[in-house]
Amino acid sequence: MSINEPSSDAVARTAPWVQLRSAAFQTFIYKKMIREASPDARPGSSVTVYDRHGKVFGHGLYNPRSEIAIRMLNFTEQPLDGPYWNDILARAVGLRRKTLRLDDTTGAYRLIHAEGDDLSGLVVDRYADMLSVEVFSLGIWRQMDLLLPILHELAGTRHHRVTVDERVQRHEGFQAQTMESENLPSSVKISENQVRFRVDFAQGHKTGFFCDQRDNRQRLSRLTSGCRVLDLCCYSGGFGLYAKVLGRAEHVTCVDLDENAVEMARRNAHLNETRIDLVHADAFPYMRQMLANGRSYDVLVLDPPKLIFGRNEIEEGRRKYFDLNRLAAALVAPGGVLLTCSCSGAMARDDFVSLTVGAARLAGRQSQILDVTGAAPDHPVSPRCPESAYLKAVWLRLH
């Protein structure tokens, strides 16, 4: 039976609709799981989803062009209408503003965390008066005119920038131009736990400043008093500045391959009226050179960009993570701390822990696992989508 060939009892269903061959309470429904779809179920449509027995399974956003054919948003009989969007967005914003009370401590946080907030395909970060929106599905893109006013009202913000990565556009089968509010500022200044940052939207890759490491940055600052600290893949200097400003580190060196990132870190150091060493370099040759020079560090942070974008890239990504961690472990002074991170959702937490310990062993180091942490709580995890627990931060003491 064709995917668009209606069955005999289609008249009893709420259109547009999709019926599944098999059903599981998971966010992502793949093409092979679909039995049929109504003729009016178009790419980007909100659809009622039925199980193989013809009972309502839930509602989602449909796109037969994508490998993820349906992104499930609920498993109830409530349609994806105006009241639904108001309620689901209010619930997400309420977590940050009422439950976590993030406005009291930071001007930057994750307002919407895709699957973690039952809003698959939508990521929104708040920076002061501005919303940085990333769209990952055609269905969400088609809802943006409805969603943006609701988000601004709930968050009390005025400006927005909406982007769709080119990779997403290819996978989802549509083209999109960046959407910006009138008089959008090119940058804003925010304070996070009394450390100040300038968030530059024109230069920053992804969303300009990474809110997910907030709690890990603060935790690291408690370990750096009087220490020599190396912050590798530093981006805008988050870990290094926390180590210096809050942690009173003796000396901090921040390294990044992106020249714009190094300049952002430089401006942030000036904003905090502090001094850190900034190096424009690739982490691999830099670490090899420091080893050749006999350098070591009391605390080393390794937080590379995403290295695995799909399951077909896992082995290559593992090799890169292993080599990075082997070199990093060799640079940590005896009794020092290595904080090593992965934001690749395709790599499981236990696999990453084993990899880091194995890399340290190959570097001739013995490890103590102090802790394994993840993203800050404004990045909640959905039990139906384990990939939403993408960030792994392994804290090792090395001997």
In the block, tokens 């609920």 appear at 74
Query: How wide is the angle at C-alpha 364 spanned by C-alphas 358 and 366, nearest 5°?
Result: 65
DSSP per position, 171-198: HHT---PPEE-TT--SEEEEEETTEEEE
The half-sphere exposure of 181 on its side-chain side, counting CA atoms within 13 A, is: 20
Q: Which structure tokens are listed for 309?
A: 């974008």
Closest of 241, 268, 267 to residue 252, by C-alpha: 241
3-class secondary structure, 262: helix
Cα Dmax for the chain? 76
Pairing of strands 367-373, 392-398: antiparallel
* CA gap 198, 346 in Å, rounded: 31
Phi-psi region of 294 (alpha: psi -120 to 50; beta: other; left: phi over 0): left
Question: Which one is catalytic: 227, 254, 341, 343?
Answer: 343
Can you say how many angstroms the Cα of residue 168 is from the centroid of all Cα atoms in its chain?
15
Who's near 53: CB < 8 A, 6+ residues apart?
none
Encode 39-70: b = buried (16+ Cβ within 10 Å), e = exposed.
eebebbbbbbbbeeeeebbbbbbbbbebebbb
- Look-up: residue for tokens 């709420």? 14
State which H helix or E strand residue 69 sits in.
Answer: strand 68-74
Instruction: Specify which residues 160 forms β-bridges with.
Output: 131
343 is catalytic: yes
Question: Which residues are catalytically annotated?
Answer: 343
